[in-house]
């Protein structure tokens, strides 16, 4: 038995933050942002929108799309770097709003979160003999970005995407192979220093701006390309699949130059690579499922297509998964 994506749904805030607005706020230009990142706008959560409310909206659509009811969900996992609160976990808020009483937990693996969740969810689906597992990548990164930091405020956006994982039939569809990794020697490259046990939040940490995300962009860039390529190759090798057989490459949407460089090294052309970051920026754990759901929704993904997902993020984590697309 393998896990298939039986339904999907997305939720993005209405408010768009354009490059032109950022030009007015920090020392940057639309030209620089587009050329260096590929991003033109991102969505920003309104005052009443949170990681949980976006997750609930995406999940409600995914449950409907899968043609099931919430009581048929036996496990809920949420990947996020921007939880609803430190305690309790975001899954508690989302489960309550959806009327669930099944187990739930949050998964922290940065922008590789969706791939980690796919692997974890499908394993528990099989070993726990579960009917359906609901996995959601949801982020409100605008709440942890320093609005005055031009290195990060141009990159990140808010959004959520959900998938219902259900057992496959005998059609060979579902999760075929995967690779997960983390190089903890790189924790300082992408981090929020304060607010945890190492450096609890205090007036001093706030004065230092240590509640905000800090990033060494160039070094993350360099490692990201290597991590995505190595992990994708490992995954394809495990499945015995050549990159020429991959119908769609769905990479983490961080920077179009990272995507192009990785796709190029993998030998996958742009026409078979899903890119939507020009409209959403980097939405961390929501980025891969948002791109996947859009491609599924507009009919680019066809039944039995081989779909390769690959992400990298804070940690540094990475993860790739190969799916044979199609509902059970």
Binding footprint of ligand UT7 on the chain (CB under 6 A)? 28, 32, 36-37, 111, 150-151, 154, 190, 215, 217-218, 220-221, 224, 254-255, 282, 313
Tokens at residue 76, please?
A: 């809920």
CB-nearer residue toward ligand UT7: 109 or 301: 109
CB-nearer residue toward ligand UT7: 91 or 313: 313
What residue number has its CB nearest to ligand UT7? Answer: 217
Q: How far apart are CA 111 and CA 127, in angstroms?
A: 26
Q: Where are the alpha helices (DSSP H) in the chain?
A: 19-25, 30-37, 51-66, 90-98, 113-127, 150-153, 203-207, 217-239, 256-266, 277-280, 287-297
For the bound state, the minimum distance from the C-beta of residue 60 to ligand UT7, rounded and expressed in Å, comes to 27
Of these residues, 102, 111, 153, 182, which one is catalytic? 111
Tokens at residue 187, please?
A: 């924790």
For the bound state, the minimum distance from the C-beta of residue 79 to ligand UT7, rounded and expressed in Å, comes to 13
CB-nearer residue toward ligand UT7: 77 or 224: 224
Tell me how far apart the terminal alpha carbons of the chain are, to the nearest angstrom. 10
Of these residues, 19, 132, 255, 282, which one is catalytic? 282
8 A C-beta contact, residue 6 and residue 135? no
Clarify whether 89 is annotated catalytic: no
For the bound state, the minimum distance from the C-beta of residue 141 to ligand UT7, rounded and expressed in Å, comes to 10
Residues with Cβ < 8 Å from 244, sequence gap 6 or more?
A: 267
For the bound state, the minimum distance from the C-beta of residue 272 to ligand UT7, rounded and expressed in Å, comes to 22
For the bound state, the minimum distance from the C-beta of residue 213 to ligand UT7, rounded and expressed in Å, comes to 9
Clarify whether 276 is annotated catalytic: no
8 A C-beta contact, residue 94 and residue 78? yes
8 A C-beta contact, residue 230 and residue 266? no
Q: Which residue has the tokens 């587009």?
A: 34
Residues with Cβ < 8 Å from 303, sequence gap 6 or more?
A: 173, 325, 326, 327
CB-nearer residue toward ligand UT7: 68 or 117: 117
Of these residues, 65, 132, 252, 255, which one is catalytic? 252
CB-nearer residue toward ligand UT7: 70 or 181: 181
- What residues are labeled active site? 111, 252, 282
């Amino acid at each position: 038995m393998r896990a298939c994506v039986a339904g999907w749904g997305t939720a993005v805030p209405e408010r768009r933050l354009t490059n032109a607005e950022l030009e007015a706020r920090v020392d940057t230009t639309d030209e620089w942002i587009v050329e260096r990142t590929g991003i033109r706008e991102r969505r920003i959560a309104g005052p009443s929108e949170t990681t949980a409310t976006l997750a609930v909206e995406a999940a409600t659509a995914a449950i409907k799309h899968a043609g099931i009811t919430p009581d048929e969900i036996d496990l809920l996992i949420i990947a996020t770097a921007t939880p609803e609160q430190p305690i309790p976990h975001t899954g508690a808020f989302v489960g309550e709003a959806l009327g669930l009483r099944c187990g739930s937990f949050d998964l922290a693996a940065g922008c590789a979160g969706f791939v980690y969740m796919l692997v974890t969810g499908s394993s528990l689906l099989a070993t726990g003999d579960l009917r359906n597992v609901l996995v959601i990548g949801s982020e409100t990164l605008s709440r942890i970005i320093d609005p005055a930091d031009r290195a990060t405020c141009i990159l990140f956006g808010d959004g959520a995407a959900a998938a219902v994982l259900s057992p496959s039939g005998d059609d060979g569809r579902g999760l075929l192979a995967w690779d997960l990794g983390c190089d903890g020697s790189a924790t300082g490259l992408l981090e929020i220093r304060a607010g945890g046990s190492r450096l609890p939040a205090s007036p001093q940490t706030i004065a230092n701006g240590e509640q905000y995300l800090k990033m060494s962009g160039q070094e993350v860039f360099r490692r990201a390309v290597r991590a995505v390529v190595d992990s994708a190759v490992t995954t394809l090798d495990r499945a015995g699949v050549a990159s020429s057989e991959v119908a769609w490459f769905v990479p983490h949407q961080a920077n179009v130059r990272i995507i192009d460089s990785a796709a190029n090294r993998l030998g996958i052309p742009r026409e078979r690579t899903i890119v939507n970051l020009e409209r959403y920026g980097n939405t961390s754990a929501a980025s891969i499922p948002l791109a996947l759901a859009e491609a599924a929704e507009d009919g680019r993904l066809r039944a039995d297509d081989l779909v390769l997902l690959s992400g990298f993020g804070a940690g540094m984590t990475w993860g790739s998964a190969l799916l044979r697309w199609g509902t059970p």
